Amino acid sequence: MKFSYLHVNEGRLQNTLEQMAKIGATSGGGVQRLTLSNEDKLARDLFVKWLYDLNLEVTIDEMGNIFGKQQGKNPILHPVISGSHLDSQPKGGRFDGTLGVMGTLEVLKTIQDLDLETERSIIIVNWTNEEGSRFAPAMVGSGVWSGALKRDWVYNRKDIDGKRFEDELSRIGYKGSIPCQKRPVYCYYEYHIEQGPLLERAKKTIGVPKGIVCLHWYDVYLEGEANQVGPTPMEGRHDALCAAAEMILKVNTLPNRMGGNMVATVGEIQNHPNSRNIIPDKVHFTVDIRSWDDDHALSAWKLVRQNFEDIAARRGCTIRIEETWRVDRSPFDKKMIHEIKTITDELGYPHLDMISGAGHDASYMNQVCPTAMIFAPSMSGRSHVEIENTSWKDCEAGANVLLHAILHSANEKRVKSKLRTH
């Protein structure tokens, strides 16, 4: 059945996005909805209300992942899942994650408006802690669900104030009783903003990533010697902040030194005691390395780790390193990618083949079932900032592609899940 004349309701999608953007709204036009914060709770409460308004079967699992199920005609067929995340970065954007959840909600509303019954059930999902900013690592909701991360290890993760993940999940009332574990899924779609400049530069409406890069996260802890800045001579100091400064520049030059396509960033740092007239004795900083080539990223880490150890030794600082998190690169399902491109052609949206440099829950879902993503352009390529923006027209276009992709998959009667063709 061809649905090319079907489309979502742009105004209604814009309205849900605007309502969600009010929760945790920041003065600069963005949102702050840190994982398991009060703002995250409010966003979850609103989302759950909207799921009940659609008479969906709502379940919340022990990681706080929220699912809404629209029953299909044939319960023996595995469901199609689509969604993303409602948590945000500190001073983050209104579209990162939220577009994928609201886009899927709009697809379900459109399907209901048109009284379309699908063979397969369709499940919408809000994954807990995709961002990994307050509680590292990222994507823990989908990570535990897919079996890649252990629930209790995540439960014991602490934020910078020493608050435990599990305690905060209980505090906001979203520690569900349903076990967080994978179940048979026919396929997974995630609609998301590109978070980069390529679509805008190429003047394309839809991004079709072939997959997501690998993400490797590390935590580095340095200990030197504090002292009064005045009487302490320069030579013989064990200044942890200077050691960190040298190491941070080694991270920055790493992609160049390694060659190939890679990014490496130090995004977070804490300096102790952080007083202008005390030589710093403790520093913690993070390292984020990403590449389409997992081994390339691992060799880069080996090189820069050696750099760190040499610098620490020379500066008389001790160093402790936590290899916090690694998720492999995720090449998406070729058949689903082909189908998405066919749909963009039918709907008349120019599309661009790309790779996602941003991490998404789709990385973990790709380990469980055939997975693909749909990107909408980010204005001036900005994201994880308050000025993150995507035009309503582009939001609607991506949601239309999502609608047709979900309808296509939800009406495929193949009993066995599709063989993944990486």
Please identify, using beta-carbon distances, which residue of 224 and 255 lies nearer to ligand HGY: 255
From 41-49, 92-100, 312-320, 396-404, give the range in contact with Mn ion by CB under 5 A. 92-100
Contacts of 263 (CB under 8 A, 6+ apart): 255, 288, 289, 290, 291, 357
Please identify, using beta-carbon distances, which residue of 239 and 361 lies nearer to Mn ion: 361
280 lies in the site for Mn ion, by CB under 5 A: no
From 125-133, 234-242, 374-382, 406-414, give the range in contact with ligand HGY by CB under 6 A. 125-133
Rounded to the nearest whole angstrom, what is the least distance from the CB of residue 131 to ligand HGY in the complex? Answer: 5
398 lies in the site for ligand HGY, by CB under 6 A: no
36 lies in the site for ligand HGY, by CB under 6 A: no
HEC states along the chain? CCCCCCCCCHHHHHHHHHHHHCCCECCCCCECCCCCCHHHHHHHHHHHHHHHHCCCEEEEECCCCEEEEECCCCCCCCCEEEEECCCCCCCECCCCCHHHHHHHHHHHHHHHHCCCCCCCCEEEEECCCCCCCCCCCCCHHHHHHCCCCCHHHHHCCECCCCCEHHHHHHHCCCCCCECCCCCCCCEEEEEEECCCCHHHHHCCCEEEEEEECEEEEEEEEEECCCCECCCCCCCCCCCHHHHHHHHHHHHHCHHHHHCCCEEEECCCEEEECCCCCECCCEEEEEEEEEECCHHHHHHHHHHHHHHHHHHHHHCCCEEEEEEEEEECCEECCHHHHHHHHHHHHHHCCCEEEEEECCCCCHHHHCCCCCEEEEEECCHHHCCCCCCCCCCHHHHHHHHHHHHHHHHHHHCCCCCCCCCCCC
CA pair distance 294, 291, nearest whole angstrom:
6
138 lies in the site for ligand HGY, by CB under 6 A: yes
97 lies in the site for Mn ion, by CB under 5 A: yes
Residue nearest to Mn ion (CB): 97
**Binding partner of 138, given ligand HGY, Mn ion, none, CB within 5-8 angstroms per partner class:** ligand HGY
Rounded to the nearest whole angstrom, what is the least distance from the CB of residue 320 to ligand HGY in the complex? Answer: 23
Rounded to the nearest whole angstrom, what is the least distance from the CB of residue 25 to ligand HGY in the complex? Answer: 20
**Binding partner of 103, given Mn ion, ligand HGY, none, CB within 5-8 angstroms per partner class:** none
132 lies in the site for Mn ion, by CB under 5 A: no
Rounded to the nearest whole angstrom, what is the least distance from the CB of residue 224 to Mn ion in the complex? Answer: 33
132 lies in the site for ligand HGY, by CB under 6 A: yes
**Binding partner of 359, given Mn ion, ligand HGY, none, CB within 5-8 angstroms per partner class:** ligand HGY
Taking CB under 5 A as the criterion, the residue among 96, 194, 361, 388 binding Mn ion is 96
Rounded to the nearest whole angstrom, what is the least distance from the CB of residue 138 to ligand HGY in the complex? Answer: 4
Range 342-371, binding ligand HGY (CB under 6 A): 358-359
Rounded to the nearest whole angstrom, what is the least distance from the CB of residue 79 to ligand HGY in the complex? Answer: 25
Rounded to the nearest whole angstrom, what is the least distance from the CB of residue 66 to ligand HGY in the complex? Answer: 18
198 lies in the site for ligand HGY, by CB under 6 A: no
Number of chain residues interacting with ligand HGY (CB under 6 A): 6
Residues of this chain that bind ligand HGY (CB under 6 A) = 130-132, 138, 358-359
Note the residues at the interface with Mn ion (CB under 5 A): 96-97
